[in-house]
Structure 1
Amino acid sequence: MRSLIGSLLKVIGLITIVLIVVAAGGLLLAGHWLQAGDEIKVADKADAIVVLGGSYFRPLYAADLYNQGFAPVIYVSRPIERKDRNLLKSVEVNLPSQEEIFRRLLRKKGVPDSAIRFFGKSVINTAQEAEALKEIVGNEPKTLILVTSPYHVRRAKMIFEDTIPQCTILGTGTPYQSFPKKWWSTRKSALKTVNEVVKIVYYVLGGRFESDSIPGS
């Protein structure tokens, strides 16, 4: 009996070690895994380019894709305003909204106003951005190029594919924003990686995070 228990404990211990090793290996590859987007090729003509709220590096790449002829229109998300912006307004410091800054960046890079559309209103997360775009797309099957930050590509693509299943979603991270494969090498990239992995797990389990910050930032 003791030998049987001892054998079981050894097996359990071995399984535990294997799981720890696998988990550690998975974490080491997390930086690469999060950035696993689609390679946008010349043949990938889309109906629209979709820029998610967050980093100002995102519209820069959206403009590049537009200027290369990948799609005739760019949809820009309208995220919720930061709470501290009201403080600035109270002292008469009026900053442009994020979508207005995105529009100006797009125009600066040669995208005409006629090709820039806005979607959503005060959206607080990626899931709400997907729902807002769904209202515009309807039931039509379309090809959409999703532009976001490198670390946000996998989760964003996952959410949009689930929300608008009739559409082909090509997810890509802006090359203007670097994100190291060795995500643990900087404090910022480590926090972003852990945050994204937790959000993906929570999303897969059916949860949705609400946030006071810009979605996907």
Structure 2
Amino acid sequence: MIAKLVAALVSPLGTAWLLGLLALGLAAGARRWGWRRGGTAAGWAGLAAVGWLWLWATPLASDALRGALENQSGPRTVAAVAPAPVLVVLGGGVQGASPPQRPHPNLGAAADRVWHAARLYHAGKAPKVLLSGGVLGAGDGSEAEAMQTLLLDLGVPASALLLEGGSHNTGTNAALSARLLAAQNIDTVILVTSALHMPRARQAFERAGLTVIPAPTDFEVIPRPFSALRLLPDTEALDGSARAFKEIVGRLAGR
């Protein structure tokens, strides 16, 4: 809970909001007590709020930050992934079914995780696939069950699937998966998650005592030539920056 609060406050939008409140407070104090420097300080705080928000809303800055995180594990082909006893696929890309409005799993932006797990399984990288993800909302099925439905459709047999449906964040993904695998004397896993999430997820699984072979997917940042348009604010870039800040804070909290 604390890590989530800190992540929200240090995110670009949260920091700009705090600076904006500081600017309002300084301006109010300057008017009430005649503090001349308060008005100047308020102006600088307001300018900092706008500038900070603008910076992380630009595709150039957002891509640089996300790319630095994604490249820590680096893109790798299926052939380059070493074999292991089990693939572990983390939830976060699929919502469970919630009839009658949503009778089937809903694919999110990070559903590449499930597709990539199927590719790795069919390439013979692991005989078992552990699906880790709990219930996100009341009335929903677990993410593990949702991923199971998709993997069955992608030709992965039910006999190869293990479900861990009690976790609700990366830390419990790792802890509960490690406990389940310890009962089967497995200490090495191929970890499948989004490239942006991989550094934090890998840290959590290694802290849980597992040897991790990273198999990142869902890369967001593709190298592109410079364009002046990449200096203009964009809501998608701002969202990407916020998610990158969340990963950084979560990783620091994990230490």
TM-score (norm 1): 0.66
CA drift of 1:171 comes to 1.8
Identify the match of residue 220 of structure 2 among 163, 170, 179.
Answer: 179
1:103 and 1:141 map into 2 onto residues whose CA distance is: 21
For 1:200, give the aligned amino acid: R
CA drift of 1:112 comes to 0.5
The count of aligned residue pairs is 165
CA drift of 1:52 comes to 0.8
Question: Is the aligned partner of 1:147 residue 2:185?
Answer: no
Seen in structure 2, the aligned counterparts of structure 1 residues 42 and 151 have a Cα distance that, compared at 3 Å, is closer
Question: Is the aligned partner of 1:127 residue 2:171?
Answer: yes
For 2:156, give the aligned amino acid: V
Partner of 2:253: 202
1:144 and 1:100 map into 2 onto residues whose CA distance is: 20
1:55 and 1:161 map into 2 onto residues whose CA distance is: 22
CA drift of 1:43 comes to 6.7
8 Å CA contact retained: 1:79, 1:120: yes
For 1:137, give the aligned amino acid: L
Q: 1:39-54, aligned counterparts within 5 Å?
A: 39=76, 41-42=79-80, 44-54=82-92
Structure 2 unmatched ranges of 5 or more? 1-60, 95-110, 224-229
Partner of 1:12: none
Question: Is the aligned partner of 1:34 residue 2:89?
Answer: no
Seen in structure 2, the aligned counterparts of structure 1 residues 96 and 133 have a Cα distance that, compared at 3 Å, is closer
Deviation per residue, 1:111-137 (Å, 9 max, x gap): 01011111252x121111111112122
Identify the match of residue 138 of structure 1 among 166, 182, 196.
Answer: 182
Deviation per residue, 1:174-213 (Å, 9 max, x gap): 2xx3412689961221111111111112222xxxxxxxxx
Q: Which moved more, 1:68-77 or 1:192-201?
A: 192-201
Cα-Cα RMSD? 2.8
Identity, in percent, stands at: 27
For 1:37, give the aligned amino acid: S
Seen in structure 2, the aligned counterparts of structure 1 residues 196 and 105 have a Cα distance that, compared at 3 Å, is same
8 Å CA contact retained: 2:145, 2:165: no
8 Å CA contact retained: 1:120, 1:133: no
Partner of 1:99: 144
What secondary structure is seen at the aligned counterpart in 1 of 2:73? coil
Structure 1 unmatched ranges of 5 or more? 1-25, 87-94, 205-217
Deviation per residue, 1:98-153 (Å, 9 max, x gap): 222211110111101011111252x1211111111121222846321111112100
Seen in structure 2, the aligned counterparts of structure 1 residues 180 and 27 have a Cα distance that, compared at 3 Å, is closer
What secondary structure is seen at the aligned counterpart in 1 of 2:164? strand
Seen in structure 2, the aligned counterparts of structure 1 residues 27 and 201 have a Cα distance that, compared at 3 Å, is farther
For 2:147, give the aligned amino acid: F
What secondary structure is seen at the aligned counterpart in 2 of 1:46? coil
Partner of 1:170: 213
What secondary structure is seen at the aligned counterpart in 2 of 1:197? helix
Partner of 2:45: none
Partner of 1:188: 239
Seen in structure 2, the aligned counterparts of structure 1 residues 27 and 187 have a Cα distance that, compared at 3 Å, is closer
Seen in structure 2, the aligned counterparts of structure 1 residues 160 and 173 have a Cα distance that, compared at 3 Å, is same
